Amino acid sequence: MATLTYHGHATFSIETDGGKHLVIDPFFGDNPSCETSVDDVSADFILLTHGHYDHVADAVPLAKRTGATVIASHEIAKYMEGQGLTTSPHHIGGGVQYPFGYVKMTPALHGGMLELPGGEAFTTVPAGFLLELDGGQRVYLAGDTALLMEMQLLKGRVDIAVLPIGDRYTMGPQDALRAVEFIEPKVVIPCHYNTWPPIEQDSAAFATAVGDRARVEALKPGATFHF
Ligand code: NI
Ligand code: MN
């Protein structure tokens, strides 16, 4: 059994069946919906979808303390190497086998600036991740993205889809519903909403709209999901 913990906004940690700790888009200290201190988080691998501050804010200190490997696009990996971190670069469409499973980097339609000190030279494309974990679970983390036709390629390949619903910067609930129709996951975990007023959304209304297409697990920050 694997455990996913939602830390609010778009920050998640996953403990796999094999006991590896993954952290996705670490944004703890400045995240208004997060009550967890980054100092209390375990990490063997840190996955970064893109360089916006609300996805990478705590990546460097977390990786330095834990020695975790940073999985990110080539350009963000270059920046992280410059910070003295261990990295595993990917690019869109490329997968790598890790001790916890297989990770493929998927497309996302969004901005690509790396919003960390000195990061201006490391502009890159944003991404999502498709994970095939050691326990057999298939998890799609869409990242910050618009609805993509490419999501249709994921149909039947995803058990759990983590989708942004906040609107304004990413898909809103209506397009996230279309993403559910494209992907046909068993479970949908909404994210990237209610962190600040401009991305307030009603996750219960989203769950009602999804209906019997999938089970919506609208996790409160700090809540866990076992799968
Ligand atoms: Ni972003
Ligand atoms: Mn974001």
Q: 3-state secondary structure string, the chain?
A: CCEEEECCCCCEEEECCCCCEEEECCCCCCCCCCCCCHHHCCCCEEECCCCCHHHHCCHHHHHHHHCCEEEEEHHHHHHHHHCCCCEEEECCCCEEEECCEEEEEEECCCCCCCCCCCHHHHCCCCEEEEEEECCCCEEEECCCCCCCHHHHHHCCCCCEEEEECCCCCCCCHHHHHHHHHHHCCCEEEEECCCCCHHHCCCHHHHHHHHHHHCEECCCCCCCEEEC
Distance 135 CA to ligand 2 centre (A): 29
- pLDDT mean over 68-90: 98
What would the two tokens of residue 201 be?
A: 């959304």
Distance 55 CA to ligand 1 centre (A): 7
Distance 51 CA to ligand 2 centre (A): 9
Distance 192 CA to ligand 2 centre (A): 7
Distance 124 CA to ligand 2 centre (A): 15
Distance 53 CA to ligand 2 centre (A): 8
Question: Considering the chain, what percentage of its residues have pLDDT values greater than 70?
Answer: 100
Give the confidence band of 103 by pLDDT, cuts at 50, 70, 90: very high
- pLDDT mean over 64-78: 98
Question: Considering the chain, what percentage of its residues have pLDDT values greater than 90?
Answer: 98
Provide the mean pLDDT of the chain: 97
Quote the CA–CA distance of 115 and 51 in Å, as a whole number.
6
Taking the CA of 25 as reference, the closest ligand is 2
Give me the domains of the chain, ranges plus CATH numbers: 3-219 (3.60.15.10)
pTM of the model: 0.98
Distance 222 CA to ligand 1 centre (A): 21
Tokens 């974990």 belong to residue: 133
Distance 47 CA to ligand 2 centre (A): 14
Distance 130 CA to ligand 2 centre (A): 18
Distance 89 CA to ligand 2 centre (A): 21
Beta bridge partners of 79: none
Task: Report whether pLDDT(121) > 90.
Answer: no
Taking the CA of 126 as reference, the closest ligand is 1
Give residue 134's identity as a one-letter amino acid code: D
Q: What is the pLDDT of residue 185?
A: 98
Taking the CA of 108 as reference, the closest ligand is 1
- pLDDT mean over 71-76: 98
Taking the CA of 166 as reference, the closest ligand is 2
Q: For residue range 179-206, what is the model confidence (pLDDT) as tens digits?
A: 999 999 999 999 999 999 999 999 999 9
Distance 193 CA to ligand 1 centre (A): 12
Q: What is the pLDDT of residue 123?
A: 87
- pLDDT mean over 74-101: 98
What would the two tokens of residue 177 be?
A: 């519903």
Distance 18 CA to ligand 1 centre (A): 30
Give the confidence band of 166 by pLDDT, cuts at 50, 70, 90: very high
Give the confidence band of 227 by pLDDT, cuts at 50, 70, 90: very high
Distance 50 CA to ligand 2 centre (A): 8
Q: Which residues contact 117 (CB under 8 A, 6 or more apart)?
A: none
What would the two tokens of residue 92 be?
A: 């869109």
Q: What is the pLDDT of residue 150?
A: 97
